[in-house]
């Protein structure tokens, strides 16, 4: 009888300790991971920005239009395609998931050429998607 009680006591103490440990672990993750995740995100976004400027912006930049017409082929084609229902600039689009971006970049679309993995890796496409998401979220 006494032994059972002791066992139960031990088990309960064990459960309390486990819960305390879990809470500690959760607290540790809360304080540790956001900072490092954000740092990782920022680095990925920065790499995405550089790749985008080099590989995409020559066609998808804001352009030099003098009458509201974007002179760059990507921006101009998307302006005509969506007629204002979506931004002509990729960096203002909030609907481009990494998956969608990968399809467009790998397959090309009309006058946009497809890009090979030797030109741009899947990871780089994801980073461009992260950059676009970040850029589009800024006013």
Q: Please give the residue ranges that form the binding site for ligand HEC (CB under 6 A).
A: 55-56, 58-60, 73-74, 77-78, 81, 90, 96, 101, 104-105, 109-113, 115, 120, 128
Nearest distance, CB of residue 14 and ligand HEC, angstroms: 54
Give me the phi and psi of 71, to 5 degrees please.
-85, -15
Nearer to ligand HEC, 45 or 90 (CB): 90
Nearer to ligand HEC, 22 or 114 (CB): 114
Nearer to ligand HEC, 34 or 114 (CB): 114
Nearest distance, CB of residue 62 and ligand HEC, angstroms: 14
What one-character DSSP code corresponds to residue 113? P
Nearer to ligand HEC, 44 or 120 (CB): 120
Handedness of CA 103, 113, 48, 69 (dihedral sign): negative
Instruction: Name 134's bridge partners.
Output: none
Tokens of residue 128, six digits: 């461009």
**59 closest CA partner among 107, 108, 112:** 112
């Amino acid at each position: 009888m006494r032994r059972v009680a002791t066992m139960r006591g031990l088990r309960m103490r064990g459960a309390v300790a486990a819960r305390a440990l879990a809470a500690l672990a959760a607290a540790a993750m809360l304080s540790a991971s956001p900072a490092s995740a954000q740092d990782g995100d920022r680095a990925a976004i920065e790499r995405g920005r550089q790749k985008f400027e080099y590989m995409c912006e020559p066609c998808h930049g804001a352009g030099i239009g003098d009458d509201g017409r974007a002179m760059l082929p990507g921006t101009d084609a998307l302006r005509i395609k969506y007629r204002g229902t979506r931004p002509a600039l990729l960096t203002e689009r909030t609907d481009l998931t990494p998956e969608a971006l990968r399809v467009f970049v790998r397959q090309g679309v009309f006058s946009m050429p497809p890009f090979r993995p030797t030109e741009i890796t899947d990871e780089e496409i994801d980073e461009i998607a992260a950059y676009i998401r970040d850029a589009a979220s800024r006013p």
